[in-house]
Structure 1
Amino acid sequence: MTASAPSIDERKFVVALARGLDLLRAFRPGETLLGNRDFVERTGLPKATVNRLAYTLTVLGYLRFDESLGKYALDAGVLSLGFALLSGTDTLELARPHLRAFAREVGAAVSLGCRDGLDMVYLETIRSETALTLGLASGSKLSMLTSSMGRAYLAVQPVDVREALYGELAQMAGDSGAQQVKNEVQEARVEVDAFNAAGCCYSFRAWHDDVNAVAVPFRDPRDRRWLVLSCSGPASSMGEEVFRERVAPRLKALAQRLGDTV
């Protein structure tokens, strides 16, 4: 279970539901099929539990079982939930024309995202026709530690929630990736600590070797959750100075038009 909160009311928390959602979250961008072994490794659940959950999700239309391969794929039920989220996000409809104008003006990709467990997920991405950026689309997930979007989200969380997230991220990495995550946490802390002065968070070649990015958080006027705007471009042609002096001020102004900023 990846929900970070100061406390959970065990009387109301449905463990079986949380475990089923963990199975659906086990799929990563670009992956179409996962087997029971993959689910066990990624969720830490017993094989017998995974079998029951996968069967239930298949019956309900959220997973589809490929008998020839012995693996599961996401089915239409998950897609319908995604469309329900996107179609119900008034802020997304409001933001789209602004994102298009911003992408044309800056000549880069601009995205709107939110938290999804221990990752950040893209709700929308608009690319400039001239932008040479990675082809991430709606539904793509990013690291909360190395992406500017994740760092911006962390920056506006209460200290106890942020520290709990750092701990969960380190725990998820396990012993094999502990040192890498420790380094990523330290780099994220530097950016988060600089947020109050900068009003944004940067990621220079941290998430990808040839990607620089900046992100600004704002509260959705409708439901008051934190959303994050980010702008990314190739590091080879859009250096740190471009993002600090040209892109960041424009992105902060856009965030202020869309919702409440810090």
Structure 2
Amino acid sequence: MGTLERGLLLLELFDADNSEMSLNQLREQAGLPKATIQRLMKTLEARKWVAYDSVTRKYRLGASVLRISYLAASHSELVRVTHPFLVRLAEETRETASLCVWTDLGPLMLDTVLTPRHFKPATNIGMILGLGTADGQVLVACGPEEAWDGYLTNPIPRHTELTVTNPDQIRERWLTVRDERVAFDRGEWNLEIPAVAVPIFDRQGQLRGSMAIAPPLERATEEAMRGHAKALKTAAAEISKRLA
């Protein structure tokens, strides 16, 4: 049995009845030497396929598994309900429209409909975005406020000269985004691709994701971006009615 096969075997041991497992439990079920399991789990942890809880001394599936799960679940309710609206937004605005959800790694692009125009931004399904993106701002600001401190514990990476990295300024912006339910990225992630995003809630008021429009810089006038924000909010309201 090769290294890859042994690693996959360990991942397959996790299920609904065994969501967390200790090293001894993994050894008993896998039938592999403890040293081998330790080495494999360290590698899986480094790549975020598993996460280790130092308090319980148990492993659980990590963010990379969640990321792949989202990609595999292209038929999920959120994508199924949202996709027709992304198509409509792309047709009406003639810009790229996308759907994101929050993961432990940050905003993950779950679906996208490209602009019919020649310029097409590099927005790939499965892409992980940053906190300074319009989607990142919306997903954090409209999520639980008690999590904000954790996001600001480590220095914010500076992607462009416009990236806001001051924690106080970021927190103030999140408050504004939460109140207005719209966020603008005017070049903090990519100078050539501004974006505007809004949150998507279900009928119970739970945050389910974010939806964005990303035009190229030359078409991202203030008037155009405000118009895109209005179109996104209208679509998000319709989507919310359809999400259980």
TM over 0.5: yes
The alignment-based identity, stated in percent, is: 17
- Matches of 1:204 and 1:189 in 2, distance apart? 17
Asked whether 1:53 is paired with 2:34, we answer no
What's the counterpart of residue 259 of structure 1? 240
- Of the three residues 109, 114, 130, the one matched with 2:96 is 109
Asked whether 1:150 is paired with 2:132, we answer no
For residues 80-136 of structure 1, what are the alpha-carbon distances to aligned partners after superposition, in whole Å with 9 as ceiling and x for unaligned? Answer: 73454222x112112111111111111111111101214110110001211623221
Following superposition of structure 1 onto structure 2, how do residues 1-262 of structure 1 map, counting pairs within 5 Å? 14=20, 51-53=39-41, 81-87=69-75, 89-130=76-117, 132-144=119-131, 146-167=132-153, 169-170=154-155, 183=165, 185-186=167-168, 188-221=170-203, 224-244=206-226, 246-259=227-240
- Matches of 1:209 and 1:80 in 2, distance apart? 29
Q: What displacement does 1:163 show?
A: 1.9
CA contact (8 A) 1:119 1:143 kept: yes
CA contact (8 A) 1:91 1:220 kept: no
**Shift in CA distance, 83/208, structure 1 to aligned 2, threshold 3 Å:** closer
- Matches of 2:146 and 2:67 in 1, distance apart? 34
Q: What displacement does 1:50 show?
A: 7.8
**Shift in CA distance, 101/162, structure 1 to aligned 2, threshold 3 Å:** same
**Shift in CA distance, 162/235, structure 1 to aligned 2, threshold 3 Å:** same
Q: What displacement does 1:150 show?
A: 0.5
SS in 1 for 2:111: strand
**Shift in CA distance, 236/80, structure 1 to aligned 2, threshold 3 Å:** closer
Aligned length: 193
CA contact (8 A) 1:214 1:231 kept: yes
Which structure has the larger Rg over C-alpha atoms? 2
Give structure 1 regions of 4+ aligned residues with deviation exceeding 6 angstroms.
54-57, 77-80
- Matches of 1:223 and 1:131 in 2, distance apart? 38
- Matches of 2:205 and 2:37 in 1, distance apart? 35
Letter of the 1:52 partner, please give it. L
CA contact (8 A) 1:114 1:122 kept: yes
**Shift in CA distance, 137/50, structure 1 to aligned 2, threshold 3 Å:** farther
**Shift in CA distance, 50/223, structure 1 to aligned 2, threshold 3 Å:** farther
CA contact (8 A) 1:155 1:192 kept: yes
